[in-house]
Amino acid sequence: MSKNMKYDRQDVLKKATDLYWQKGFHGTSMRNLQDVIDMRPGSIYATFGSKEELYKESLQYYAEQGMARLTACSEATSSPLAALKMFMKTLITGNCATAPSDMCMLVKTVSELTEENAELLCEAKRLLHMMENAFAALFAQAQSCGELDEAKDPATLACYMQVQIMGLRTYLRANNDGKVKVDKLIDELFEKGLV
C-alpha cells in the first residue's frame, strides 16, 4: 500500500477481526493479514504498531459490536429481560451461519493465549467483564421496573448469563442439529426465572 493510498480504518478492523476470530491469534500469519486487509506488512506496522496491537484493536472492535447489538436489543423492547433474551438468541443462534466462528472471539482468545501474550489475555478478560457488567445493568433495570425479584443479585445473574452464553455456544458447535434445542433452552432460562 503506497503512502498516499487511503483506507477505511473501520473496514480494516472489521476484516482483521473476522480473520482473527476465524483463525485465532497464533493461526493468523502476517501473510494472512496482508491478503485479507489489503495492506503490506510495513503499512500494518506503521498503522497499528504490531500484529499484537492490531489484534488488541480487533478485540475491542469485536466487543464494541457486541455492545452495539445489546443496545439495539434494549432499544427494540421496553423489557430489559426481553432485551437480554433477544441478545442471547441473536448472538448464539441468530448469526451462527454468518459469523466467522461459532465461538466468541473473547472466549477463544482466553482459551488460546497464555501469559506469553499477557497483555492480550488481560484485554480479552477485561472486555468479557465489560459485557458482564452491561448484563448486570440490564438485570438491575429489570428489578427497577418490577420484572425481576429484588432479592436476586444482578452481578450474579450476569455471571450466570455469561456462563450460559459460553456453554450454549459450545453446545451448538458440538451439535449440528442443536439450534432448535438451544433456542428452547434460552426460552426456558427466562421462562423459569433461571436468569
**pLDDT tens-digit map of 82-133:** 999 999 999 998 876 678 887 899 999 999 999 999 999 999 999 999 999 9
Copy the grid coordinates of residue 77: 423492547
Task: Say which residues have a Cβ less than 8 Å from residue 140's Cβ, sequence separation at least 6.
Answer: 154
Report yes or no on 52 lying in a domain. Answer: no
Residues of the chain with pLDDT under 70: 1-6, 96-97
Residue with cell 436476586: 152
- The per-residue pLDDT for 2 is 42
Distance CA 134, CA 195 (A): 15
Cα angle, residue 18 at apex, residues 171 and 100 outer, rounded to 5°? 35
The pLDDT value recorded for residue 70 is 97
Q: Does residue 162 form part of some domain?
A: yes
Structural domain containing residue 145? 60-191
Does 54 fall in a domain? Answer: no
CATH number of residue 118's parent domain: 1.10.357.10
pLDDT of residue 4: 42
- Side chain identity, residue 171: Y
pTM summary value: 0.91
Q: Kindly report the CA angle at 81 between 166 and 162, in degrees rounded to 5? A: 15
Phi, psi of 38 (to 5 degrees): 60, 45
Residue at 23 is within a domain: no
